[in-house]
Amino acid sequence: MPLIKETDYGTPAIASEKTISLMIDGMTMEVPEGTSIMRAAALAGITVPKLCATDSLNAFGSCRLCLVEIEGRAGTPASCTTPVAPGMVVATETERLKKLRRGIMELYVSDFPRDILTAPANGNCEFHDMAGAVGLREVRYGYDGATHLNAKKDESNPYFTFDASRCIVCSRCVRACEDIQGTYALTIAGRGFASQVATGGTDFFASECVSCGACVQACPTGALIEKSVIAAGQPEHSVITTCAYCGVGCNFKAEMRGEEVVRMVPYKDGKANHGHSCVKGRFAWGYAMHRERILKPMLREKITDPWREVSWEEAIGRVASEFKRIQARYGRFSVGGITSSRCTNEETYLVQQLVRAGFGNNNVDTCARVCHSPTGYGLKATFGTSAGTQDFDSIDHADVMLVIGANPTDAHPVFASAMKRRLRAGAKLIVVDPRRIDLVRTPHVAATYHLALQPGTNVAIVNALAHVVVTENLVNEAFVRDHCEWDAFQDWASFIARPENSPEAVAKVAGVPAALIRDAARLYATGGNAAIYYGLGVTEHSQGTTTVIAIANLAMATGNIGRPGVGVNPLRGQNNVQGSCDMGSFPHELPDYRHISDPAVRRIYEDIWGVKLDAEPGLRIPNMIDAAMDGSFKGLYIQGEDIIQSDPDTQHMIAGISAMECVVVQDLFLNETANYAHIFLPGSSFLEKDGTFTNAERRVNRVRRVMRPKNGYADWEITQLIAQALGYPMHYAHPSEIMDEIARTTPSFAGISYDLLDRVGSVQWPCDANAPLGTPVMHIGGFARGRGHFMITEYVPTEEKSGPRFPLLLTTGRILSQYNVGAQTRHTENSLWHEEDRLEIHPHDAEQRGIRDGDWVKLESRSGATALRALITDRVATGVVYTTFHHPDTQANVVTTEFSDWATNCPEYKVTAVQVSRSNGPTEWQETYRQHAEQSRRVLAAE
């Protein structure tokens, strides 16, 4: 595919039903009212020269290159800032305009480097293009006098350079930072000749810049340019694919030279990201080429042995012989597999097929176990579908956002930018979170209410919000009567109206003033379209499922379901959490969330796979570990997950996995789990395979191979080799064939094919005969289950309580530059922003313990202890501490406990009673763990 260059219409599209007729360069046209002359011309195929305009930004009118003449009007107005008018007659090319443009361009060029052969932007530079477009043939001004040619380069950012000598101060970067990203890190400092792009008195790296890349993308001159382009040269072809980081699912153009990625550029037609990106997707893809990546299969007899590189044939043969041996000795149910939310739909589908059909049991689970499994249970029980209700664009119609237990600016940055745009346009924000997340107060955005609750009291708070709705007659009774089970609603309303659910009662347990809860509830119920967005701060609790149900109750009671601007929206952590759940990765469900005990559903797969399926649910990940401890579970195939780092109570996890006789890890790197593995199968990156990811809005996006797998096989091929070696026939020639089988067997995917995705870009399931192009907003006119089901949500305090020994509550989360266990981002320059996990502690709690900022502190719970450095901040309340879990050196999960959600066993990461004390450095356990990891990663030299 050649290099894809999207058309730039100069100014944004205008949504207006009224059209205006005008003539440009002799062509008559009709465009929506409010459209600029520049855009109208571009729509007709006429390119008006421009520099400061681009259609992702509102018109600015500074460069004066886009001048036009309009009959009956004096002067030469800028076409970017002049809207069309009825009967207008416009000329874009006249002798006067040509002369003016050449003069303007000549002035620009007079203060611009003329290194025409060596400039890194050569071949892809709007500035050079415009010099050509206006016919500039000479520059009459010399370099005598003051210029900006010797301006200093800012190379502080690891991913891009700012060369001020090439800056024409068009403000596109500043406006992109403000209007698209919403960070306001850039400004134009100085006046007149001294005007320059500035980052607040420091360099790019030390500034507020979040490295989203919007400024680089907006720059027309190459002043801001990717270092990878400087190093590799301009790309020559591009492939549209989907980011492998968070659940937003941004589309990118992988811009290539041969099989080398030159850069990843966000795709303007990407329906989830609309041309925007974050530091991870835009820049942090170098892990795929990192020198520590393992490219050859490896074996060892015992986990204390060094690794030995072997052929694929030997490695796959060993997997098969070991799993056969274990099943022969310990029984059919003694082995299992884990699918990955980082892999494609097709790959997760194959792993669950391998387990169910090849292993002959249902011991398959996925990393969604430890994040959004409560969402699956809670939304299915209430709405009938285990998924969020809206598309991302729904946010543009929201009047109120209720953000509970999510930190979008760090974990879902591109969607956070869309949220911030809507908030700047006047929508109101309620944040429910123990921490003061960035959204609470960020440039030009402030939450109306921040309910800084005690960790573990989500159910109490959401019940209290609903209490206000019910007792203050704010229920949308018409909606409830039309769409929900009335009897169940009445039972729920009676329950929720009880005094123990009142804000006044809840204030005592949650630590949030009753008046604040009441005000927030009134705003949610009466503020117009109200949308709920939630994350792992909701699900990762012993009552995670109950909170999801409580949220669904609240949305139904207020009628905030079934139209744009409202809904219940789980923000999925990893790129394919939704998809891995959809594809039957849970031990009790086949694809499309159909229970394994249903004989009719089993028969669909039995007919295709040619085997009898077991009707009983299998083990979930924590159950696998417990079963390993009691000796009934001995073999595990793990594709793309690092359970030793990501799962709770590390020492228990290590004990369990060490008790197994064959652990197979398939990953890009020797991760923490591989330290306890017997077979390592090198995995492939998202750049090396075809497939699909399904994002948090149920959008099925294509992943396209841009290079051959560096390890030799795509992950789906490796699973297939294992199946064949076990004697189970699995012979797909291409992932499109897997998707075709998914479509044949999965009702909500019935209409999806690679052909459709290639034609329309992406679709949101359900995609079937009733919705051939997918379903952006669900439950319009009725719920998937028929009528919405209210459920009683009694608040039950967690067993994990603070006390004299462990007086603080720890909650964990993410940071912008890192991702999950860090396997990908730690192998990129992103670590420059976050080299280590830090413990956030309130100044009061720090002072009581004699802790200063940057001190090493010991973080201890009843499960274990680790040490890390302290970050003193009032972002956390007194009594609460917070850390991330991105770095294995910290291994934050050595502290978290075995408590989990009642319905799904999703771990209670968000509440751990801890003590914090000053320390001299890493704990003895950390030192031992580090030494073990180093020993475990030894690889024998090839013979």
* Binding residues vs another protein (CB under 8 A): 333, 363, 495, 542, 545-546, 587-588, 595, 597, 616-620, 623, 626-627, 629-630, 632, 792, 794, 796, 799, 898, 900, 902-905
User: Closest approach of Cβ 629 to another protein, in Å?
Assistant: 8
Shortest distance (Å) from residue 698 CB to another protein: 24
Q: Which helix (H) or strand (E) holds 602?
A: helix 599-609
Residue 811 Cβ vs another protein, minimum distance, rounded to whole Å? 20
Axis crossing angle, helix 458-471 with helix 514-526, rounded to the nearest 10: 60
State the minimum distance, in angstroms, from the CB of residue 513 to another protein: 28
Burial per residue of 767-777, b for 16 or more beta-carbon CB atoms within 10 angstroms, e otherwise: bbeebeebbbb
Residue nearer to another protein on the CB measure, 222 or 374: 374
Of 275 and 337, CB closest to another protein: 337
Cα torsion angle, 871, 873, 877, 879, sign: positive
- Nearer to another protein (CB atom), residue 340 or residue 623: 623
Q: How far is the CB of 377 from another protein (least distance, A)?
A: 9
Nearer Cβ to another protein, position 371 or 674?
371
The count of other CB atoms within 10 Å of the CB of residue 853 is: 13
Report in angstroms how near the CB of residue 636 gets to another protein at its nearest. 14
Q: Which is nearer to another protein, 44 or 497 (CB)?
A: 497
CB of 892 to another protein, least distance (A): 22
Q: Give me the residues paired with residue 266 across strands.
A: 252
Supply φ then ψ for residue 790, to 5 degrees.
Answer: -75, 140
- Minimum Å distance from CB 457 to another protein? 16
For another protein, give the closer residue by CB, 22 or 628: 628
Q: What are phi and psi of 467, to 5 degrees?
A: -60, -45
CB of 326: closest distance to another protein in angstroms? 16
Q: Cα separation of 471 and 732, whole Å?
A: 58
Residue 252 makes CB contacts below 8 A (sequence gap 6+) with: 240, 241, 242, 243, 264, 265, 266, 267, 270, 277, 281, 282
Smaller CB separation from another protein, 868 or 906: 906
Q: Residues 6 or more apart from 137 whose CB is under 8 A from it? A: none
Nearer to another protein, 495 or 676 (CB): 495
Min dist. Cβ of residue 761 to another protein (A)? 37
Residue 349: both structure tokens together: 């589908």
Q: Which is nearer to another protein, 544 or 774 (CB)?
A: 544
- Alpha carbon 626 to chain centroid distance? 31
- Residue given tokens 């001190």 in the structure block: 855
Instruction: Select 626 or 889, whichever has its Cβ closest to another protein.
Output: 626
Q: How far is the CB of 900 from another protein (least distance, A)?
A: 8
Contact 887, 448 (CB under 8 A): no
Minimum distance of another protein from residue 591's CB (angstroms): 17
Please write down the HEC assignment for all residues of 18-73: CEEEEEECCEEEEEECCCEHHHHHHHCCCCCCCCCCCCCCCCCCCCCCCECEECCC
Which tokens hold the place of 113?
């480097």
Euclidean distance between CA atoms 201 and 212, whole angstroms: 20
CA dihedral 866, 867, 870, 874 (to 10 degrees): 10
Q: What is the CA radius of gyration of the chain?
A: 29
- Nearest-5° Cα angle at 40, 38 to 41: 65
The residue among 592 and 837 lying less far from another protein, judged by its C-beta, is 592
79 or 905, CB closer to another protein? 905
